[in-house]
Structures are given as C-alpha cells and as structure tokens.
Amino acid sequence: MENLSRKQNPYNDGKVIDSCGLFGMMSLKGNTFSGEDAMTAIANMNIRGNGLGGGLAAYGIYPDRPDQYALHIMYENGRGREETEAFLKESFEIVFNEEVPHRDSATGVVNPPLVWRYFVNTLGSIKEEDQDDYVVEKVMFINTKIHDTFVFSSGKNMGVFKGVGFPENIGHYFCLEDYQGYLWTAHARFPTNTQAWWGGAHPFSILDWTVVHNGEISSYGTNKNFLEMYGYFCTMFTDTEVMAYAVDLLIRQHHLPIELMAKVLAAPLWSEIDRMPEDEKEVYTALRQVYAGLLLNGPFTVIIAHQGEMIGLGDRIRLRPLVAGLHKDMLYLSSEEAPMRLVCRDLEYSWIPKGGEPIIGRLETNEVIYQDKPVVVGMDKNANTSSA
Amino acid sequence: MGRITLINTSRPENDMNRVKFENGRIRFDADRLFYKDLNFLLRDVLKEHKPEIISIHNVYGQRYIGTNLRQNVKIEIYGTPGNDLGAFMDGPTIEVFGNAQDGCGNTMNSGEIVVHGSAGDITGFAARGGEIFVKDDVGYRVGIHMKEYQGKKPTLVIGGTAQDFLGEYMAGGTLIVFGLYMSEEQRHRADFIGTGMHGGTIYIRGKVEEHQLGKELGKVEMKDDDWALMEEYAYKYAEHFGYNHKQILNRDFVKLVPLSLRPYGKLYAY
C-alpha cells in the first residue's frame, strides 16, 4: 500500500485544508472535443482534492452506439463478474462488451478493479416508455444483490470514468484523451465523512444523469428514506448519491422542469416566499410541502448533467463556491475561476451565480438559461463610460 | 539580466529561470508553479533583493500570494490569483490585472490590494487594517468579520455591487459599495446585509430596501464627515481605475451602522 500521507502532504503541514473541486464544460452547439481540457482544468485545482477520489463524465462519446444503454461496471473479483454476466444475459440483449481501455502504466491510481462495459438493449417484451424504469430496476438489483459489483454508469451515448486517485490520473488511466464528447464534468474528491473507494468517487450516475458535488448533505438520512419509497436504494456509502436519484425522480418520473427541480433541492427561504406575488407563493409553498423530503440541507454546489444539458446549482446561501464562464459556444462551470481561464485564455465573460439559482446550458436551444440577470464579474469593459 | 540566489525553495534548479531582472524591475513567471513554491520563491527574492516592484506573470489559481509579507513592495499580478490573496499581509501593495478569487485580503494587517476586475466570496475576510479596492463586483459574505482596534482600521471599496451577507458579523472598519454599473431605480441585490454586525460602518451608493438588511443594523443619515470620507475614497477609486470621482458622488448613499455593539449580550444572561 502506497503511503498516501507522504504524497498528499509533501510539505508536512500540520493541517491540510482541502475541499472538493468541480469543473464542467459544454459546447452549446454540440461540438465535440477530447477530455484533455477538462483534465487540465481539474488538475489546476489539484489542491482542492487529496487523491482519494477523482472522476469524469462525458456525453456524446459513443456515437456509433447511440441507442444502447452503456453499462460501465466495476468488479472487485471474478465471482461478481460471473454472477453479473449471467444476470445481464437474462435481462438484456448484450450487443457488444469489452474491458474499458486503460493504461496499466498510469501512475497515481490505487488498486484498480476490473472495469468492463456492456452495450445493451432491453428485451423485446419491454415497451419503449418502460425501458428506463427497467434499466433503473436492474441496476439497483445488481448494486444491492450481487456482491463486489457496481454499475456506475448506465446511460446512452455517455459514460462515467472514476476511481481512487487524482482526477487527472484517473482520466489518464482510462485514456480519456481518446474520447470525443460535447459535455464533460470532472471532480476532485476530498472525502469528509466517508471512506475512499472506487465506487465512492464522483460523478454519481443513474441512466444518463450524473452529479458531481462539493459539500455535505446533512439531510442525507431524510433524503434517502424519501427516495427508498420510490425504489431508489443508496449503495455507494456517500451522501452525493441521493442527488442523482432525486434528480431522476423529479425530472424523469415526475416531469418537473429543471428550474423547479432546482427549487426543490435548494428551496427559497420562507422569508423570500413571503415576499413573492400570490401565485408564486402558492407554487413554492406547495413544492416545499410535497418535496420536503428532498430539500437538501447543508452546504453544497453541484454540477448536474444529462444528455443535452449541464446544470450548475449551489445552496441558497452559497456555502460552497461556483463560478460560471462563457466563451463563444462554450459554457464553463467551476469551483474556481482560474481553471476556466487556463483552458480558455480569452474567456469572454464570467460571473458569480446567486445561491439557489440554477445555470442551465441547453443543447437543444443552444443557450444558457440563468433566471436572474447574471452578476457581472469583470469583463464589462464599457461599464466605466455607460454608468452615472 | 541579473542572477538570483535562492535560499530555501524546495526545487531551486527548476525555479532559477523563472526570475529575471528587466529594466530595473523583477519579473517572475509563475506558469504551472505550485503555490507553495511560488510563495517560497517570492519571499526569497524579496528578502534578498528588496525590489520596489515585482511582477508575477501567468498566475492561474496559486493561493496565498503575498501572505505574511512585511515590507514595502509593489507586487503586480497578471492572471487570476488563487484564494486568500494577501492573507495576513503586512505592508505590501498588490495590484491584480484580472479577477481575484475567494478570500482576497484574508486577515490582512496593513497594505493595499487593488483588483482591476472582480473579487470572489469573503473578500476582506477578518481584515484588521489596510485598504482593498475592487473595480467591479464581489461575491458573498464580503467584509465578513472585519474589525478595528485603535489606529488600525480596514477599508474595503467595491466599485460594482455585492451579493448576500455583505458585512456579515462585521466588528469594525469601513465597507463602501459604489454600485457604479446600476441604474438609479435598480436596487442592490444583496440580502441579509450586515447580519450579526456589531461594529464598523457600511456605505452603499444607490437603493437598498429595508428587507435586505439584517436585524442588527439600521440606516442613519449621512453627515458632512461621511460625505468627506466618500469623497476621499471616490477619489482614490477614480485614481486606481481611471474614473471621474465626481460621477461617484452624484447619487445618494445609505449609511448603515449596528444598532447595538452587543446585539446578543442578553441572550445568555438573565
């Protein structure tokens, strides 16, 4: 076993202050690019993480198999693989499968499990509208019932790559410079309350929803109980998992628009609701009542993504950082401003979003939606002359 | 071109080429340099050569630049310095040509930080002295727990607007928000201004509604010496960023002070 404390604390500081790092980049026109910039950016925030978890999610990377569910599965031993493959053969039509390509020579990656991917169709008897539910059910079955096996990515034309190590090392291990995607998110982990293991790294994912998270969800118990009523089971030993399932429930099952989904997770304060016009007051009061069990308490910033959309969201009083930037067709979201500027030297515009207000990059309409007027952080070169 | 001898950096061989004398000033290339090495190197160079100006280039997120420095030097930063810029700083002037991240001026004791752009959350965090000027906007909790003691009194001047919890737990010093890029009708967007505030003064140019204020502070009338102070800082701001200071003084200011120096004094006593 490598001596991690040597590596993480080479200056032998009495206390190492870290916090998770998040980065996301998306082409609003769907132009694809490799994972290199996302890795460079997250590596620039190296000190936010401590090497006990790193990962990336990428969208649009399997254009040759866009209609099949891509299951990324980690096996801690051969028995898990045997049982899982038998189960997969019963439950799906497996079109293609292979070991996820990786570099054995990569450094900084700790005890990698066997990672395999399967491109599958649901069986012919499953109606189209039921296919997503079917996949969720099977993923939950494998993750709760089959030992030493975890499905950590199950969407179409997207994939999660994660493990124990710094994210740039994990990206290098999985050869992410060879993939072309239009949306990448990345995470550098600094585990606070839970152990470091391959499944516990971010992004967390169900179907094509992924979440990377900085913070602590102190309402985890309440959220977990609420989600269990809808058939979502938490198996990854960490708080962020509830967020992925909450988003899937609210958007895919309950058909809430993303703007309202954000207001369930980061509900407006009652003092704000009191000042709203009557109709809004009614909506937000109802949301807080119906989804009280999904309110996320505690400090958090997340980047949520699924096919065609990237969403940045922070808690209501902004106890964790998030900065947004725009350049041509690119939307950037990051824990710090410097990494955006490192990978995009002439970034046109950047701002500090308001807590609880989602920033939504949308491929379909090629636009960024931010409910309130963004607060300009710099770059407003004409401001001097236009005011007063 | 001069040659620099290094005292205690961790990797002297690699770092030697980063520091150059150019026309009587020192130029320092920080490209991909780890923050600890950057700060060690900066300290060594300042100690040995005592330059009046040093410029640091290609800064991308390195933290704590200028931390705990106690000498008169001007440090110019090109790029985006990382969190806690000038933390515990005692004397130097830092000028940033770009935006500053979170925690700029953390517990600063004396000196000046000038940001030609915006600054992030908790700018001026627990500052004990010195001056900070930010050309544009700032993030959340700016001026949190600023304090003053006798002759030590920090001042933080923001050209644009600020977000929620401005002046939270403020215990002293002066916080000035000019709101330059806003129309007369537009109100500042910060909520919970001065929550927990028990010392110091906040001046805000432009509109602030009653519900945006924390429970512990109230609006008071601007007096002549308040206007004189605004004029002094409007002038300094204008000098730094090329602005007409009279344009800053053409709109009303709101002066906010704590209603009590010990708002919760009775909470634990009966």
| pLDDT reported for residue B90 | 96
Rounded to 5 degrees, what are φ and ψ at A86?
A: -65, -45
Give the burial string for B15-44 (b: 16+ CB within 10 Å, else e).
Answer: beebbeeeeeebbbbbeebbbbbbbbbbbb
Task: Give chain A's domain count.
Answer: 1
Mean pLDDT of A261-277: 94
Q: Compute the nearest-CA separation of B189 from chain A (Å).
A: 9
User: A376, B101: Cβ pair inside 8 Å?
Assistant: no
Q: Which helix (H) or strand (E) holds A186?
A: strand A183-188
Angular region, B224: left φ>0, alpha ψ -120 to 50, beta rest: alpha
Burial of A324 (0-12, 13-18, 19+ CB in 10 A): buried
Q: A377, B137: Cβ pair inside 8 Å?
A: yes
Residues from chain A contacting residue B250 (CB–CB below 8 Å): 388
Mean pLDDT over all residues of chain B? Answer: 91
> What is the pLDDT, as a whole number, of residue A370?
82
Of B38, B83, B30, B87, the residue nearest B59 (C-alpha): B30
- Least trusted range by pLDDT, from A12-21, B45-54, B173-182: A12-21
Query: Does the distance separating the beta carbons of B35 and A47 come in below 8 Å?
Result: yes
Q: Is the peptide bond before A203 cis (omega within 30 degrees of 0)?
A: yes
Residue A3 domain-assigned?
A: no
**Helix or strand (DSSP H, E) at A351:** strand A349-351
For residue A239, the model assigns a pLDDT of: 85
Cite the residue boundaries of each domain of chain B with CATH code 2.160.20.60. Answer: 118-264
Given a contact cutoff of 8 angstroms between Cβ atoms, the answer to whether A242 and A220 are in contact is yes
Residue-wise pLDDT tens digits, A65-119: 999 999 999 999 899 999 999 999 999 999 999 999 999 999 889 889 999 999 9
pLDDT-above-70 percentage for chain A? 90
Residues of B in contact with A375 (CB under 8 A): 137, 161, 163, 189
How does pLDDT run across B41-100, given as a tens digit for each residue?
899 899 888 899 999 999 999 999 999 899 999 999 999 999 999 999 999 999 999 999
Residue B245 token pair: 């200071």
A137: pLDDT strictly greater than 80: yes
Q: Residue B242: pLDDT above 70?
A: yes
Answer whether B136 sits within 8 Å of A380, measured CB to CB.
Answer: yes
User: Is the separation of the CB atoms in B103 and B138 below 8 Å?
Assistant: no
Residues of A in contact with B213 (CB under 8 A): none
Say if the Cβ atoms of B121 and A11 lie within 8 Å. no
| Residue at A47: amino acid letter | I
Per CB-CB distance under 8 Å, the chain A contacts of B118 are 352, 376-378
Query: What does the pLDDT look like over A147-198, one tens digit per residue?
Result: 999 999 999 999 999 999 999 999 999 999 999 999 999 999 988 777 788 9
Alpha carbons A203 and A208: distance in angstroms, whole number: 11
**What totals of helices (H) and strands (E) does chain A contain, helices first?**
12, 17
Q: What is the pLDDT of residue A195?
A: 75
Q: In this structure, how many other beta carbons lie within 10 angstroms of the beta carbon of residue A86?
A: 11
B61, A45: Cβ pair inside 8 Å? yes
- Catalytic, A20? Answer yes
Residue A371 has a pLDDT of 62
CATH number at B118-264? 2.160.20.60
* ipTM entry: 0.91
| Min Cα separation B149/chain A (Å) | 29
Structural domain boundaries enclosing A194: 15-386
Which CATH number characterizes residue A106's domain?
A: 3.60.20.10
CA closest to A43 among chain B residues: B32
Query: Where residue A13 falls among pLDDT bands split at 50, 70, 90?
Result: low
* pLDDT tier, B14 (very low <50, low <70, confident <90, very high otherwise): low
pLDDT of residue A44: 95
Categorize the per-residue pLDDT at B5 as very low, low, confident or very high, splitting at 50, 70 and 90: very low
Average pLDDT, integer, range B252-267: 85
Question: Rounded to whole angstroms, how far apart are CA atoms A96 and A201?
Answer: 26
Q: Which chain A residue is nearest to residue B63, measuring alpha carbons?
A: A47
| Mean per-residue pLDDT of chain A | 90
pLDDT at B8 over 80: no
* pLDDT surpasses 90 at B212: yes
CA distance, residue A312 to nearest chain B CA (Å)? 16
What pLDDT was estimated at residue B222? 97
- Split at pLDDT 50, 70, 90, the class of A388 is very low
Based on the number of CB atoms within 10 Å of its own CB, is A273 exposed (0-12), middle (13-18) or buried (19 or more)? middle
Would you say residue A385 has pLDDT above 50? no
Query: Which residues in B have their CB inside 8 Å of a CB on A?
Result: 10, 35-36, 59-61, 63, 79-83, 98-99, 101-102, 117-118, 120-121, 135-137, 139-140, 160-161, 163-165, 180-182, 189, 211, 241-243, 247-248, 250-251
